[in-house]
Amino acid sequence: MNLIYAALAMALVTAVMQANLDKAGVGRIEATQPTALSNLRVMLAIPLTLLSNLGVLVVTVWSFLVLPWLPTLGVVAAAFVVFSLVWGFFVATIRRSDSWPAFVAIGIPLVFALRILCAASVVFLIVRYVQGGAL
């Protein structure tokens, strides 16, 4: 059961990080120069983005139906609300420092890795829920 909550937290945390970085303009694969490699990255990013964005919404809502609601609410509140504040403060601090260009330079691999982690967490949760609810 703790693994389910950890996967839910991982999905939410990585989704929050992706959304915040995207809003800041960091890690946008589609903004790169059109080459064969960047086109491949865009083609890989489309299903990952769809799975991670829509998937995290689905598993979060579904978690309230198959898991005890109070611990689920605690995980969602901690991973979404509290982590959003911490991550937002971190990004705002970095954005106002001299480290911002270096952070932007690693943006594409960072966002791609976050999408993979989020998608993997979502797939894990979907499989676990289909196999037997919250087992």
In this predicted structure, what is the pLDDT of residue 77?
95
List strand residue ranges (DSSP E) for 1-135, in order: none
Report the pLDDT value the prediction gives residue 71, as an integer from 0 to 100.
Answer: 94
Q: How does pLDDT run across 78-106, given as a tens digit for each residue?
A: 999 999 999 999 999 999 999 999 999 99
Residues of the chain below pLDDT 50: 135
Number of structural domains, the chain?
1
**Quick check: 63 and 8 in contact, CB under 8 A?**
yes
Q: What is the amino acid identity at position 37?
A: L
Helices marked H in the chain: 2-23, 36-66, 69-76, 83-95, 100-105, 107-132
CA atoms within 13 Å, Cβ hemisphere of 60: 20
pLDDT, residue 133, reads 60
Give pTM, 2 decimals.
0.89
Domain span holding position 42: 2-132
